[in-house]
Structure 1
């Protein structure tokens, strides 16, 4: 039996990757990768969400197809760059999904977007809430094996020293940027659904619940199958949950 191939991935500007392009007008799920992560983490999720949602994965510098591009020197500068790169390709009423570091980035990009372009809901997965970030970042000088374990990549990479060394270097770049982050301003007004991974030993539900203080809008939470990284190149991640949230249905408690 021959399995039909999916649509060919496409790039929209420097900052947006479309792993599974769909028809114009399809609602968007904008996905933000974890520290050390790339758009490849969302390939399976994009296929699982079709045809209800089209994934637009954020292409961060200093990795993958943007390996030679320089990462902005601060978290605030990164947010500004993502907003500028994403805005021309963003439709109102989207869903934002971010893993770990990407959860915080999704939240701050959503807050920085002009009124009328902000997402309807932000879904931070396995991410400390903004108030907890300054004290939750592991030291960039940690041993490579410890950094990979802490960031959920220890079992997700091939046993290739060169690839693992590159991943560690990218993690250290992202953590250095994250270290400049400080909570600021008033809480958001959009909905937030915070996710805990059922096998994530680094982030218990009690920490995830702190996202309630990050918005004056609706707040819900759930625990989903998986560890610290829910969507990976080998897994689809919380596709069922994201479809339900997009449709406005109830989330699991």
Structure 2
């Protein structure tokens, strides 16, 4: 299967043939459209690939995956063709936990490891609130929770027919996130860069700082003013930092060339 026909990979701009690749994972219920702005901002030497999970967008008719172990096993196989150049994994919100667990899975499976991991608006894997039960909330409580985060368009939340299509995937993604079984393991042998906001209701500074326990290499934390919406408001700063750090990390990785 070629990258262009792989249903797990969404292309928001033509493949660049760049020296580096950024593989992105969206928030709960999110799809490729989450990273539309990245397609505008990332430089041409970074090939942008967005993971599209079952149950949304062009895969709406497929059943969503509900457990992390199953998901990263499927991703390990589906994304193998993307690992031929130095690459980074970028996760937004719950997608950051998926990116982390996939990085571990790739390491344990003997694959080419990421040059860097980028986590945005997500507590460290050890401090995720696994008992929060968002995936089991009533519909009114679920919509209230999503509205408070401000990452789901109000049109979807306020339109019953649209929310009917959206609800299964967002519940499944939260179930993946909340039922993930964190295991103590050796830190990742790659740099971890974290982005967060000072008033984000889904994180705190200590839960963001705890990501540093997951790496034996460099760690950085960038804090922005505002709430969960900083991902879009400060997007250009984020993408500039990601591109620069991906290049630098790749240059320091043995065998980083094609």
Aligned to 2:25: 32
The reply to whether residue 109 of structure 1 matches residue 108 of structure 2 is no
Q: Secondary structure at the match of 2:55?
A: coil
Q: What is the DSSP-based 3-state SS (H/G/I as helix, E as strand, rest coil) of the residue aligned with 1:220?
A: strand
Runs (4+) off by over 4 Å? 154-159, 229-232
Which has the larger share of helix? 2
- Contact between 2:189 and 2:217, CA under 8 Å: does it hold in 1? yes
3-state SS, counterpart of residue 57 of structure 1: strand
Whether contact under 8 Å (2:195, 2:223) holds in the other structure is yes
- CA change 1:22–1:89 in 2 (3 A) is same
Two-structure CA RMSD over aligned residues (Å): 2.7
Aligned to 1:69: 62
3-state secondary structure, aligned to 1:240: helix
Deviations 1:128-153 (A, max 9, x none): 11111253644323313223135542
Give a deviation string over 1:92-137, Cα, whole Å, max 9, x none: 4211110111001011111211445211110110111111125364
Question: Equivalent of 1:126, from 104, 111, 121?
Answer: 121
CA distance in 2, matches of 1:154, 1:231: 13
CA deviations over 1:27-82 (Å, ceiling 9, x no partner): 11110011110011111112210313121000111111111222234211101101
Task: Kindly indicate whether residue 41 of structure 2 is the aligned counterpart of residue 48 of structure 1.
Answer: yes
> 2:146: which partner in 1?
148
**Contact in 2 for aligned 1:35/1:151 (Cα 8 Å):** no
The count of residues paired between Structure 1 and Structure 2 equals: 240
Any stretches of 5+ residues in structure 1 without a counterpart? Answer: 1-9
Where 2:72 maps in the other structure, the secondary structure is helix
Q: How does 1:102-251 map to 2 (within 5 A)?
A: 102-113=95-106, 114-115=109-110, 117-135=112-130, 137-142=132-137, 143-149=141-147, 151-154=149-152, 157=155, 159-184=158-183, 185-224=185-224, 227-231=227-231, 238-248=238-248
Does structure 1 retain, via aligned residues, the 8 Å contact 2:135–2:174? yes
* TM-score, length-scaled by structure 1: 0.83
- 1:177 alignment partner, SS class: helix
Q: CA deviation at 1:207?
A: 1.2
Unmatched 5+ residue regions in structure 2? 250-258
Task: Tell me by how many angstroms 1:88 deviates.
Answer: 1.4
Q: Secondary structure at the match of 1:183?
A: coil
Shift of 1:170: 2.1
CA contact (8 A) 2:55 2:168 kept: no
